[in-house]
Every structure is written in structure tokens, then in C-alpha cells.
Amino acid sequence: MLQALRAFAMVAGVIAVATMSKYVRASDNRALDADIISVAEEWAKIKYLSDDDSERSAKMAVLAPKADALVKRYPGRPEPLIWDGIVVSEQASLSSGLTALSFAGRARDLLLEAYKIDPKALDAGAPTSLGVLYYRVPGFPLAWGDKEKARRYLEEAVKNAPNGRDAHYFYADFLYEQRDYKRAEEMIRMGMALPKHPERPVWDQYFPMVMETLLDRIEKKLKP
């Protein structure tokens, strides 16, 4: 069991890789928009500009209460719940064993709450992130991971967020893991062609590199 949980901790970082772009705008609430962008870009700086995981973990622990506070500041809104779930997912990726699984469980609960409110919010941020959790967390009897749930959430995310780069990236990553390389290539190329988010400069600089890395892995599998 511990070996499987260690493996989960190693791959859990992918949960936050894109569950991070988070398409940011609530549209009808400028204060909420600004607060979401602030947390999102701070997340990106921690993720991409930290020197090592020790620094990332320390800084993420500081960001986490800020994300929690947004949930309380904007009750009933899905956007803060989504970003709180993203931050907690990142904490899972920076932890190991049962601690990682505990963080992942809390992230799932936050994202399920957001999903119930509005599954389309932030470019389908809730189903995208839930899909990643369900295919990266170990399955029964070790934990609650579920490939079929993952597929359903990610398919829904792509359908409801045609301009969501995260949704396309993670669906492509899932398809790659399922060895459906042709469909994975289609999804990642669609994602790479989607609009950027200039309000997220750090994320916008680094996330294309993440997508290119996945495309390279897929293309290697497609070579005769």
C-alpha cells in the first residue's frame, strides 16, 4: 500500500499542472475576478519559479489559507471552491503517502461542491480537476481512484469548455495513459491551438511547455 501511495505522490503533481490555468473570470463579479487571478498567478509563480519542492511546499502552505479565505468571502460561488481545490491538489503533489491521499480527498470534496453549483464554471474547472484526481489517485482497495469516473468527467469538461486548454490537456493525458494515442494527439493539438490568458502571464509562459512535452511523448508512441 505504501508503495502505491508513494507512486501517487510522484504523479499527483500533474493534478496541479493545469488544474492551474483556471481560466479565471467569474464575469459578473469584478472583485471575485481579481481575487481569483491573484491566487491563480501566485500559484503559478510557486509552481514554476520555485527552486525546489521544499520551497514550493512552504510557499503553498502560505497560499492555502488565502484560497480557503476566498471560499468564505464568496459563499455559494464555485470559482473559489475550484481554486481552493487546485491549491490543495498541489499540496497533495508535494506530500507523500497517507498525507498526500488526505490532501487529495479534501481537494475532491471541494471540487465536488463546486461541481454541484456549476460544472461549467472557469472553463469546466471542477470536472477537469475531478477527472485528473480520479485517474491519478490509486483505485480500490488502496483508495478511491476510478478510471471510468475520470473519463466521464474529462469528456464532460471538453464538451462544456471548448476553449478550455486545461480540459483538453488533461483529457489528452488521460487518453495517453489509456494508450489511445491517436485520440490523445487530437486532443492535445486542439488544446495547443486555443486562446491564451494574458491576465495569467506566468502560467501563459510555462503551460505551453507542459503541453509540448505531452505532445512529444504522444508522437513517440505513434512512430512506427
Q: Mind listing the domains of the chain with CATH numbers? A: 2-160 (1.25.40)
- 179-200 pLDDT, tens digit per residue, is 999 999 999 999 999 987 777 7
Element (H, E) at 211: helix 201-222
Ranges of the chain whose pLDDT falls below 70: 1-27
State the pTM of this model. Answer: 0.86
Distance CA 185, CA 169 (A): 10
Distance CA 132, CA 19 (A): 8
End-to-end CA distance of the chain: 37
Could you tell me the CA-to-CA distances from 146 to 81, 99, 150 in Å, in that order?
Answer: 22, 20, 6
User: Under 8 Å CB-to-CB from 17, ≥6 apart: which residues?
Assistant: 47, 169, 207, 210
pLDDT (0 to 100) of residue 12: 44
- 52-93 pLDDT, tens digit per residue, is 999 999 999 999 999 999 999 999 999 999 999 999 999 998
pLDDT (0 to 100) of residue 150: 98
Nearest to 49 by CA among 60, 65, 38: 60
pLDDT (0 to 100) of residue 201: 83
Contact predicate 141/5, CB 8 Å:
no
Helices (H), 161-200: 165-177, 181-192
